[in-house]
């Protein structure tokens, strides 16, 4: 019986080396287009230019066979439409393009993936209100392409899987760059169906003119389809902005810290045609509070908004937001038309017929440390306010106290009027003004209360004669009086003439009320007759 023979390790390695060399020679021989990199570079430039509808320039292209055949493109520049400026719309140092090997035999350059590494992208809105992405989108919608994942080549080239890593997206208005941008952006675009693109973006919002240390993460994902006009493009997009502190969010959006703290999460959904799409948002802020103090109890804010969005005109129609309360109907904020480029001109309507006073006081405690921790008075607030395009308010708010010391309902009516202490801030042009109102106490006595409340702050004044016990009861209706109540209690005064003024700007630290020293009134002790 013959013994089996074994190939030595040295001989096996030699056979594998020869086989690999023969395979490489055959590959190069059977794919002659790969031998002319210069000619393929011109084809690549022509192909990308035709896909984008923009002139494209590449400084160099080098061929690589491993791990997959493809090209490394250096210093690619995609020129801008002159109607949007002279700066390139896309600039990148490196682009990796992976070839579909089978396309080489068909004399057609076809890529499976195109990956931009650290590119810079400019999104521009010109003086006519048009965006540079519009023409790119319309150009792409007119090009016939096969789905990205189609296994076999057909008459139309397969759309590549386009992605970008660590991109920077700049926003420009005409020739001027705005401070807004997206950094560390990862982007992906592909064609799952012949008439539908899918897109995915994850990035960090940024603002160059102020330091934002915790901008959170923005994610966008969804689909859009072909159409002849931009407004007719069907979209189904979802976006989230999460893991961002409220102070950092306000600094990012306005350039200044609004002095509020909390954790923000925003969900956005856009469905329909771009000239008439349904927009819905859900905003959540957890552990909401002022920055200058920590209240006994922080609150959670939830708001749901609906509107009709027109991307062509950048407007919202029939916008309405609801801020729910578990014990009553939600607060409604509505606007018939919002121009996203001129938000300060939007007309607003605030309406609620039954805001519970305990709910309102829980929010008031976020604004002031001097509101006592005692139970809020029972009652409600009826609110109807309208803001015109010139920032003037009209309407009124009626506070009804259902459990005052006099055992009868007490109503305080605030009317919208010009703010006498508005300063230069247009947001404080109007205020809710409380005309002199008698707050009833026991024994048929009362305090005179007047003042005003605006988006900038408040000013309140109280006067009258009252005992310490009466003032303690009155603080349930007028909480800012409790400082004076404590002063009277420690001084031993039984009754005092009260003349107290309190004022504060929301943007400034907490201030104390100012008042003349309480003037004591001597009371003779009284005795009750026995019957």
Task: Render pLDDT for 244-261 as a digit per residue (tens, 0 to 9).
Answer: 999 999 999 888 888 899
Residue 267's alpha-carbon distances to 66, 220, 243, 280, 303, in angstroms, are 42, 10, 12, 8, 11
pTM comes to 0.80
491 sits in which H/E element: helix 482-491
Burial of residue 319 (number of CB atoms within 10 Å: 0-12, 13-18, 19+): buried
pLDDT category, 36, cuts 50, 70, 90? low
Choose between 413 and 238: higher pLDDT.
238
Task: Render pLDDT for 139-161 as a digit per residue (tens, 0 to 9).
Answer: 777 778 888 888 877 778 888 88
The structure tokens listed for 353 are 């017929």
The structure tokens listed for 490 are 């420690």
pLDDT category, 473, cuts 50, 70, 90? low
pLDDT category, 424, cuts 50, 70, 90? low
Contact criterion met (CB below 8 Å) for 122 and 80: yes
The structure tokens listed for 167 are 């991109």
Predicted confidence at residue 526, as pLDDT, reads: 44
Mean pLDDT lowest among 261-275, 454-468, 507-521: 507-521
248 sits in which H/E element: helix 246-254
CB atoms near residue 455 (< 10 Å): 15
1 has a pLDDT exceeding 60: no
CB atoms near residue 26 (< 10 Å): 10
CB atoms near residue 21 (< 10 Å): 10
363 has a pLDDT exceeding 90: no
374 has a pLDDT exceeding 90: no
463 has a pLDDT exceeding 90: no
Mean pLDDT lowest among 32-46, 181-195, 208-222, 230-244: 32-46
Q: Which is it for strands 161-173 and 111-117: parallel, antiparallel or unpaired?
A: parallel
Quick check: helix, strand or coil at residue 330? strand
Choose between 478 and 346: higher pLDDT.
346
Contact criterion met (CB below 8 Å) for 367 and 506: yes
Residue 239's alpha-carbon distances to 120, 217, 318, 455, 519, in angstroms, are 22, 10, 21, 30, 62
DSSP state of 522: -
In degrees, rounded to 5, the angle at the alpha carbon of residue 433 between the alpha carbons of residues 403 and 517 is: 75
**What own/partner pairs with CB < 8 Å and gap ≥ 24 does 448-452 have?**
449/412, 449/478, 452/417, 452/419, 452/420, 452/421
The structure tokens listed for 142 are 């007119």
The structure tokens listed for 64 are 């690589």
Average pLDDT, the chain: 80
Predicted confidence at residue 98, as pLDDT, reads: 86
Choose between 263 and 324: higher pLDDT.
263
The rounded Cα 366 to chain-centroid distance in angstroms is 22
């Amino acid at each position: 019986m013959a013994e089996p023979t074994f190939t030595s390790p040295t001989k096996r390695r030699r056979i594998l080396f020869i086989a690999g060399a023969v395979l490489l020679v055959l590959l190069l021989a059977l794919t002659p287009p790969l031998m002319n990199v210069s000619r393929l570079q011109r084809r690549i430039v022509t192909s990308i230019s035709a896909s984008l509808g923009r002139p494209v320039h590449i400084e160099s292209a080098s061929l690589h066979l491993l791990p997959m055949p493809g090209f490394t493109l250096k210093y690619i520049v995609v020129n801008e439409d002159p109607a949007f400026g002279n700066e390139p719309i896309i600039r990148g140092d490196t682009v990796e393009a992976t070839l579909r090997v089978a396309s080489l035999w068909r004399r057609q350059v076809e890529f499976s993936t195109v990956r931009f590494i650290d590119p810079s992208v400019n999104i521009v809105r010109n003086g006519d209100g048009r965006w540079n992405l519009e023409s790119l989108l319309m150009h792409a919608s007119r090009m016939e392409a096969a789905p990205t994942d189609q296994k076999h080549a057909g008459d139309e080239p397969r759309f590549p899987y386009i992605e970008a890593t660590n991109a920077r997206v700049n926003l420009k208005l005409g020739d001027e760059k705005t401070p807004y941008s997206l950094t560390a952006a990862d982007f992906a675009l592909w064609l799952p169906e012949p008439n539908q693109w899918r897109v995915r973006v994850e990035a960090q919002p940024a603002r160059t003119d102020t330091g934002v240390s915790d901008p959170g993460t923005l994610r966008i994902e969804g689909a859009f389809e072909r159409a002849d006009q931009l407004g007719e493009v069907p979209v189904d997009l979802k976006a989230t902005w999460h893991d961002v502190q409220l102070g950092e969010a306000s600094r990012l959006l306005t350039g200044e810290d609004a002095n509020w703290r909390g954790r923000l999460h925003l969900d956005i959904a856009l469905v329909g045609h771009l000239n008439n799409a349904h927009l819905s948002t859900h905003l959540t802020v957890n552990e909401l509070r002022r920055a200058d103090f920590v209240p006994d109890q922080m609150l959670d804010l939830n708001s749901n908004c609906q509107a009709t969005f027109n991307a062509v005109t950048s407007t919202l129609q029939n916008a309405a937001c609801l801020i729910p309360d578990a014990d009553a109907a939600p607060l409604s904020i509505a606007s018939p038309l919002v121009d996203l480029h001129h938000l300060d001109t939007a007309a607003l309507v605030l309406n609620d017929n039954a805001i519970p006073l305990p709910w309102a006081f829980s929010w008031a405690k976020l604004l002031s440390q001097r509101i006592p921790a005692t139970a809020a008075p029972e009652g409600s607030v009826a609110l109807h306010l309208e803001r015109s395009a010139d920032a003037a308010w009209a309407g009124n708010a009626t506070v009804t106290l259902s459990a005052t010391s006099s055992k009868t309902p007490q109503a305080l009516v605030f009317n919208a009027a010009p703010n006498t202490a508005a300063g230069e801030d247009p947001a404080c042009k109007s205020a809710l003004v409380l005309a002199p109102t008698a707050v009833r106490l026991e024994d048929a006595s009362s305090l005179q209360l007047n003042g005003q409340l605006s988006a900038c702050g408040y000013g309140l004044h109280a006067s009258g004669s009252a005992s310490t016990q009466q003032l303690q009861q009155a603080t349930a209706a007028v909480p800012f009086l409790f400082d004076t109540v404590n002063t009277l209690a420690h001084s031993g005064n039984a009754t005092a003439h009260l003349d107290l003024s309190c004022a504060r700007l929301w943007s400034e630290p907490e201030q104390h009320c100012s008042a003349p020293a309480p003037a004591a009134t001597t009371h003779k002790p009284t005795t009750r007759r026995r019957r």
